[in-house]
Amino acid sequence: MQKFHNLRMARKISLLVAFIIISVSLIIGPATTFFINKISKETLIEKFSLSARYNALIVQSLIDEAYGFASDMQTHIVDGYNGLEAYDGGVYASKLYGTPISSNTSKMEDYILNLAISASKSASSNIYGVAIYFEPYAFTPDQQIYGFRVDESNPTSPILSTKYTDYSNEAIYTIPKNTLKPYVSTPDLLSNGLRVCHVSYPIIINGQFKGVVVADIKTSQLQSTDSEYKEEFPSIYSAVLTSDWEIIYHDWEPDYSVANTQYVGHNVDERLTPASMNEWNELAKAGEFFTIDANYTDGTEYIKILSPIEVGEEIWWAKIGIEPKDLYGDITALLILIGGALVGTILSLIICIDIIVRKFLDPLNILVDAAQKIEVGELHIEIENDHHDEIGNLSRGFTLMASNLKAIIDEIDHALEEMSQGNFSVSSEMKVTYNGQFLSIKEAIVSISNKLSGLMQSVNNATEQVSYGGSELSIAVTELARGIVDQTQIIETFIATTEEISQVVAGTAEQFRESEIISAEAKEQANEGTHYMKQMLNSMVQINESSIEISQVLKTIEGIADQTNLLALNASIEAARAGEAGKGFAIVANEIRDLANLSAKSVQEIEAVIKISINNVEQGQEMATKTSDSLKSIVSTIDKTASISNGLLQSSKSQQKHIEELVEGAKSISRVIESNVAAAEESAAISEALAWQADNLTETLAQFKLTDD
């Protein structure tokens, strides 16, 4: 901070402005960057959220189409089922099995067969294949097994079922049969390399299961709509997941026709960290759209966007995944660009401000140089500045100030030089104007001149008196010599007395020292007693708390005794009702009741003793507290006594030292008095010389020019 205060004004202003600009930028810049980043990320997430929802709608439409087809066919079969009948001797034969059937059964077969073949062959249909399987003798009483399947690979050549076990153990049959609800399977790998999902719809007649209608969907038709983003976001992918998080479609899957696929058929928890998987499951519980930042076990991170798909009573999910660095790459570059532009703008602004401030404050450097010249006593200063701003006015003020200072200093120099020559009347010739505090300097010079003039006159008068007093001093010195001899004897007596007092003070100091040691020992013992008393107080508090806990336990025991007494009373009543058979039980019940009463009485007695014990402990605790307080008071008193003893010891030492100094001083006085005898003799000779010097001084003072007053 001191270095900052020592900088030039222009530099300090530039630094302060730079600090303010940087501070404001550090507030506005990050805030702006944060909001841009937030809005941009929300926009991108919303963009891909729409894509995920659209993918979900596509998959939902495929599932709904399969559901709709199976439901329509199931409805038609249910509506026409009551018309199915055994062979009635007509000319109709099954187109699939070639067995004779009734006319109504033939019409039903024609309808379901044509509808299945049409759905499999239709280019606009998303259904890959159709299968219908019935329970034994459920389609016609004359045909035990009836079931077939058609798909794109054999649209006109249905595959017939000849045994019930051909389909009865398949999940597409057993699950609808057991649940009487539609079922959508996970993808199966067919022999031709395709993977299909089966939508199985149960045929229920009068609450009884009769068979299923199955519609197949190729998983390759679950393709996403995010291909337009592939070039812009290389890491983006889409997938379809089951409710168990099994991947049934993934647009990164290189080959759907192999058993060991890279993505399809695998579960997402195989690659995610446990923490991400737990968060995933929590978000999915609501069955609504959600996004998650998922971490893989290999350390990579992906943003997952999932949209629900209703598949029967299950929920599948359309998922879009993308790496954050890929998704936010453009945003990061934009933020870096904004940050760079902000930094460049700040630097440019700071440089411009520094140049402008330097230009306007350069005249201050001239004023600083002028002030430094005045500081070293150089007053020949002329500063030219035509501006009428603050700096211009300051420049002209500096010039005028230097001129006034020079005039005042020159006049003072002249006056002091004249006074040094003995001319004290020069103060009346000072003509320069002294403004402000300079006036006191002039008044001081005039005052000094007048006082020195008066002093010289006084000295002149005193010299005459000194000359007269010299002779008188000689007589006084002789009398002084006689007095000095008497003082010598008195001083010797004083020295002897003082040495005796010193010895007495030394003995007193030793006694105070012993008293201080005894006080310290008493204080230590009192502190130890206080410590033990605190331990005793803590022990009594613990005893009191234990007594209270025992009292609580006794109350519990008393409650148990009361309950036991009540139970014994109830038992006695029941024994009385039992008559002769309950007499023995009644005796036991009475014994138990007596024992409960005795326990309750004992508990009350113990509780009374404990209450007395608690009261005694509390009284003992109160007495211990008072004792502890007394010990503390004793410790305080001992401290004060030790302090007083120590003060007295120090005072005694100080007195002993002063007495020793007094003795030494008295001895010095004795020596001085002896010297004074010789000095007095010399003073007589000096007095005569003084009178002669006074005469010479009178002649010298006559050379000074003094004021009239």
pLDDT tens digit sequence for 495-514: 777 777 767 667 776 766 77
For domain 42-338, give the CATH number.
Answer: 3.30.450.20
What integer pLDDT is reported at residue 40 of this predicted model? 61
The winner for highest mean pLDDT among 15-24, 47-56, 167-176, 563-572 is: 167-176
- Residue pair 66/357 in contact by the 8 Å Cβ criterion: no
- Rounded CA-CA distance 253/241 in Å is 14
Range with the lowest mean pLDDT among 32-36, 114-118, 205-209? 32-36
The winner for highest mean pLDDT among 9-13, 344-348, 432-436, 518-522 is: 344-348
| pLDDT cut 90: percent of the chain above it | 10
CA 509 to chain centre: 62
CATH topology of domain 360-409: Helicase, Ruva Protein; domain 3 (1.10.8)
- Rounded CA-CA distance 665/658 in Å is 10
pLDDT at 580 over 90: no
* Domains 42-338 and 450-702 belong to one CATH topology: no
Confidence band (pLDDT; 50, 70, 90) for 160?
Answer: very high
What integer pLDDT is reported at residue 133 of this predicted model? 95
- Rounded CA-CA distance 416/438 in Å is 16
- Rounded CA-CA distance 455/241 in Å is 119
- Record the tokens describing residue 629, joined without a space: 């307080």
pLDDT at 320 over 70: yes
- Rounded CA-CA distance 323/318 in Å is 17
What integer pLDDT is reported at residue 624 of this predicted model? 67
What integer pLDDT is reported at residue 180 of this predicted model? 92
Indicate the helix (H) or strand (E) that contains 530: helix 438-578
- Residue pair 314/291 in contact by the 8 Å Cβ criterion: no
Confidence band (pLDDT; 50, 70, 90) for 135?
Answer: very high
Confidence band (pLDDT; 50, 70, 90) for 615?
Answer: confident
pLDDT at 91 over 90: no
> Between 304 and 88, whose confidence is greater?
304
SS3 content of the chain, % helix, strand, coil (to 5): 70, 10, 20
Q: Average pLDDT, whole number, for the chain?
A: 77
Mean predicted confidence (pLDDT) in 569-591: 75
| Phi/psi of residue 139, nearest 5 degrees | -80, -45
- Residue pair 576/586 in contact by the 8 Å Cβ criterion: yes
> Between 240 and 646, whose confidence is greater?
240
Within 8 A by CB and 6+ apart from 540, the residues are: 617, 620, 621, 624
CA gyration radius, the chain:
61
- Rounded CA-CA distance 73/111 in Å is 9
What integer pLDDT is reported at residue 238 of this predicted model? 84
- 561 closest CA partner among 605, 508, 501, 623: 605
- Residue pair 300/269 in contact by the 8 Å Cβ criterion: no
What is the domain partition of the chain in residue ranges?
A: 42-338, 360-409, 450-702
What integer pLDDT is reported at residue 329 of this predicted model? 60
- Residue pair 144/137 in contact by the 8 Å Cβ criterion: yes
Indicate the helix (H) or strand (E) that contains 213: strand 208-218
- Residue pair 14/353 in contact by the 8 Å Cβ criterion: yes
- Rounded CA-CA distance 103/94 in Å is 10
59: left (phi over 0), alpha (psi -120 to 50) or beta: alpha
pLDDT at 227 over 60: no
CATH topology of domain 450-702: Helix Hairpins (1.10.287)
Within 8 A by CB and 6+ apart from 25, the residues are: 342, 346
CA 529 to chain centre: 48
- Residue pair 570/654 in contact by the 8 Å Cβ criterion: no
pTM: 0.44
- 431 closest CA partner among 401, 447, 450, 411: 411
Confidence band (pLDDT; 50, 70, 90) for 481?
Answer: low
E strands within 275-350? 290-295, 301-311, 314-322
